[in-house]
Amino acid sequence: MRANVLDYALTAPATLTEALALLSDGAHTPIAGGTEIMVALNTGRLTQKSLLSIQHLAELRFIRVEPDAIHIGAGTTFTDIRNHAVIAAELPLLIQSASWTGTIANQNRATLGGNICNASPAADTPPALLCYGATVTLISSSGQRTIPYANFHRGYKKTALQPNELLHTITVPRIFVGYRQYLRKVGTRHALAISKIALAGVAKLDGNTITDIRLGAASLADRPVRCHAAEAALLNKSITPQEISKTVAAARAALLTEARPIDDIRSTAAYRAAVAANLLEDFLRSLLI
């Protein structure tokens, strides 16, 4: 049933300090671009009645490039990200995933922070951010803390955020120039589809040897995950025409030991696991070229 908007209150503070003060009662729900929240509201699923708009907070909308890292404010839109030259050059998987997130109109409003905090296991940007070893800075009126993004997701739609906290910054180290990078999303169609399964990978090769590899997946568990077992099976392995089949077989087997996909309306656990292994093979064979 559609919700009655008169049942909801929206406060729109002018500054981050004000927003954090309001949030300290633990009873407000942040709303950024609103592209998730408004769908929940329209369909009568939004149980939180006190909304706190953070959409216009300039303090949350920035991309800052420093020598060692790129800092992205949680309120940065996907359009901002797609238009950023340094991100395009160094973090192509983030650009790719931003371009998959809904339509252009959606990308003009939807924020990176909203994509992460919504905590869908199928969201588009988490696999890339996991590969890139991102950290996230969470802020409240009593201080801030920075944690590895890999520790942010705590279960299905559960995150490390406390009710009085906002996600402030996503930070990615600038070490990926020269890495081979891969991202593929499998959905019901090419555009405007929520993924059934997605795999992101970055790998550094010294000659034919993999000296660093990081894999991130969507819908391979109840939350976005790094694939540590598959990574371990691939580290220091040779990517050569002679060795590739053996390496792929070991990596596929390792991935299946750690896969914990869920059955839901979009797909089955069995399909997700099988296709994830196929995507991993696709990535590894692309390293031969």
Ligand X SMILES: Cc1cc2nc3c(=O)[nH]c(=O)nc-3n(C[C@H](O)[C@H](O)[C@H](O)COP(=O)(O)OP(=O)(O)OC[C@H]3O[C@@H](n4cnc5c(N)ncnc54)[C@H](O)[C@@H]3O)c2cc1C
Q: How far is CA 66 from CA 70, 72, 85, 96, in A?
A: 6, 11, 14, 22
Environment class of residue 68 by beta-carbon count within 10 Å: exposed (0-12), middle (13-18) or buried (19+)?
exposed
Residue number, nearest CB to ligand X = 114
Binding segment toward ligand X, per CB under 6 A, in 28-36, 241-249, 261-269, 270-278 = 28-36
Identify residues 58-77 at the interface with ligand X (CB under 6 A). 74
183 binds ligand X (CB under 6 A): no
- Asked if 33 is part of the footprint of ligand X (rule: CB under 6 A), the reply reads yes
Nearest distance from residue 38's CB to ligand X, in Å?
Answer: 7
Q: Is 6 or 191 the residue whose CB approaches ligand X more closely? A: 191
Say whether residue 108 binds ligand X (CB under 6 A).
Answer: no
* Per-residue contact string for residues 109-138; x = within reach of ligand X by CB under 6 A: xxx-xxx-xx----xx--------------
For the bound state, the minimum distance from the C-beta of residue 168 to ligand X, rounded and expressed in Å, comes to 7
Binding residues for ligand X, per CB under 6 A?
29-37, 39, 54, 74, 100-102, 106, 109-111, 113-115, 117-118, 123-124, 161, 166-167, 194
